[in-house]
Amino acid sequence: MVIFGASGDLTRRKLIPSLYYLHRKGRLPLGTQVVGFARRPFARDEYRRYLRDAVERLAGTAVDHHSLDAFAENVFYVIGDFARPGYYAHLRGLLDELAGPRAGHLYYLATAPGSYGQVVGCLGANDMAHEEEGRRRLVVEKPYGYDLASARRLDRTLYAVFDEDQIFRIDHYLGKETAQNVLFFRFANTLFEPVWNREYVDHVQISAAETVDVGHRAGYYDGAGVLRDMFQNHLLQLLSLVAMEPPASFAPGPLRDETAKLLAAIRRFSPGEISRHTVRAQYRSYLEDSAVASGSTMATYGALKLWVDNERWRGVPFYLRSGKALAEKSTEVTLRFRRRPHPMFAKTCGADVDANVLSLCVEPDEGIHLRFEAKAPGAVADTRPVEMRFHFGGSFGGDAVPGAYERLLLDAVHGDASLFVRSDAIELAWRLIDSITRAWEEGAAGVAPPLVSYLPYKWGPDEAEALLARDGRAWLRGCGGREEALR
Ligand code: BG6
C-alpha cells in the first residue's frame, strides 16, 4: 500500500492507526507493506517513530508494543515531489524490491485534492497502473470535486490512467458499522421492511451534529461550506441507505445501482423552493477566524427538506440537517411513523397518543431505539411512550465497533467496492447540491433563504426548527437515552 500524503493529518490520525489495528487483529493479508510517499524529508526510522507516536497517542494504553514493533517493521518511506515523475521511478524500484512486480498495489491519495492529478499522471507516466502483473487500485479521498463540473474533470483525469473498477472513492460514513447496519436492519429482518414506506412512515430525519468548529481547517472550509463538506457525500449516502430499494445482493454492482436510482429520485428544487425548503446559517464567531474571508457568507449549518419521488416514498418528507459548533456530536436517522388511523384511545388518553419512532444511532454509542406506546400500569387506559434499545457495545462487547477506515481499507485491499462511491452517484449528488449552493451563494432574496446566525454550542438556528414547525413537526433526538425527549 502506497500512501501519497504520508506526512499529513489523515495519514497520522486515521490511516496508520487503522492499519495498525487491522494488523493487530491479524486481518491484513500476510506480507502487507506500507510505503509512505511525501515531500517531508523523513529518514525511514524517523518516519516509523513518527507513526508509532501517532498510534500511541491515539490508542494510549491499549497499544500492544510487540505488535506495533512488528507493524512498524513493514512501514517504509520515500521522499518525493508529487509532480515529478522521477521520484516515482524510485518508488517503483522500492516496490519491486520489497515485494516483486507481481504483488498487488493499492495507491491511496491522502494528499490535498489539488495534487490528485499530478500523482495519477505520474503513476501513469511510470506505467504503475497496468494490471498485467498484479492488481493496481486507487483510493481517492473526499472532497471528490467542488461541484459537478470539477468532479467530472477529476473523473477524466483518473480515467486517463485507471479504469472505473480500479477506482475506490471513499466516503468514510459508508464504513461506519452503523451506517452499514441500516441495510442489515432493513433487509435481514422481516419486521421492518413492510412498514418502511409512505403508507406507514410520516417523515424521516437525518441529523449529523458536530461540536467542533471549523478550527484549523477554516481555510478549506471557507471555500466549501456545510453542503459540500457534509451533505453532498455523507448525508446523501445515509439517505440512500435508508431509502433505497432492496438490492438483489450485497454485491458492489446491485448495491451501487440502487444508490444511484435513489439519488436520481430525489426531487430537484424548482425556482423559489430553495428559499422555502432550506435553511442556511453560520455560527456567531465564524468570521473571527483569521483564515475566513472577511464578510464570508459560507454556511456552517444547513437544513433541507427533500422529497424522494418514487412509489415507496412519494409525499414523505426527508429532513436533513448538519452543522459545526453545535451542542452535541451525534449522527442519527429517525423515522417517525404515522399515527393510528382510528384513535381508539382518544377519549381516555387524549387524541395525541404518540406515534412510533425508530432511531438509528450512527454515533456515538451506535445502536437502535424503538419508541412505542405502553399502557401505564394501574391507570384505566392511559398510555406512556417507552423504548426498546439495542446498542452494539452492550450486545457485542466494548470494542465491537471498528473504525470506518479499518473497514474501508480492508475492503479496498480485497477489491470489494460495495462501500465505495461510484462515479454516477457522485454526479447525481453534485447535481442536487450544486442547485442549492448556486442559489445560496448568489444569495438573492426570494431565491435563497437569508443567512442567519446561531449561537455556538447550542442546537442551531430557530429557522431550522421553523422548517419543521411549519409542517406541524419537530426535530427529534431519539438516540443517546435522553429521557427528557420522552413525554
Ligand atoms: C469529514 C468532514 O468528511 O467528516 C468534516 O470534512 C467532518 O468536516 C467529518 O468533521 C465528520 O466525520 P465524523 O466521522 O467525525 O462524523
Domains detected in the chain: 2-141 (3.40.50.720), 174-401+417-469 (3.30.360.10)
Nearest to 361 by CA among 339, 338, 394: 394
* Contact between 300 and 226 (Cβ < 8 Å): yes
Q: What's at 153, amino acid-wise?
A: R
Matching residue, cell 481499507:
409
Residue located nearest, by CA, to atom 2 of ligand 1: 229
Choose among 33, 101, 121: nearest CA to 72. Answer: 33
Question: SS3 for 246-298, per residue?
Answer: CCCCCCHHHHHHHHHHHHHHECCCCCCHHHHHEEEEEECCHHHCCCCCCCCCC
| 184 compared with 444, residue with greater pLDDT | 184
Question: Rounded distance, CA 470 to CA 255, Å?
Answer: 35
What ligand 1 atom has the least distance to the C-alpha of 217?
A: 8
Does 324 count as an annotated binding residue? yes
- pLDDT tens digits for 203-233? 999 999 999 999 989 999 999 999 999 999 9
Dihedral pair phi/psi, residue 372, rounded to 5° = -145, 170
Q: Which residues of 332-349 are buried (b: 16+ CB within 10 A; e: fewer)?
A: bbbbbbeeeeeeebeeeb
CA of 232 to the centre of ligand 1 (A): 12
- Mean model confidence pLDDT for the chain: 92
The residues assigned a catalytic role are 234
Q: Residue 477: enclosing H or E segment and its boundaries? A: none
Tens digits of per-residue pLDDT, 40-81? 999 989 999 999 888 988 876 678 889 999 999 999 999 999
Share of the chain above pLDDT 90, in %: 78
Taking the centre of ligand 1 as the mean of its atom positions, its distance from the CA of residue 401, in whole angstroms, is 18
For residues 260-266, give the mean pLDDT: 98
* Residue 39 assigned ligand-binding role: yes
What is the position in ligand 1's atom list of the atom closest to the CA of 142? 3
**How many Å separate Cα 147 from the centre of its chain?**
17
Tens digit of pLDDT for each residue in 101-140?
A: 789 999 999 999 999 999 999 999 999 999 888 899 999 9
* C-alpha span between 334 and 355 (Å, rounded): 12
- Residue 454: phi and psi, rounded to 5, are -140, 155
Q: Which residue has its alpha carbon closest to ligand 1 atom 6? A: 229
CA angle 261, 150, 161 (to 5 degrees): 90
Q: 450: which DSSP letter?
A: P
Task: Please give the pLDDT value at position 482.
Answer: 47
- pTM, two decimals, is 0.94
User: For a pocket test of ligand 1, which of 217, 234, 236, 361 has the largest count of ligand atoms closer than 8 A to its C-beta?
Assistant: 234
For the four alpha carbons of 475, 478, 483 and 486, in that order, the dihedral sign comes to positive
CA of 93 to the centre of ligand 1 (A): 36
Place of cell 422548517: 467
Residue 445 identity (one-letter amino acid): A
pLDDT at residue 487, rounded to an integer: 34
- Span from the CA of 338 to the centroid of ligand 1 (angstroms): 32
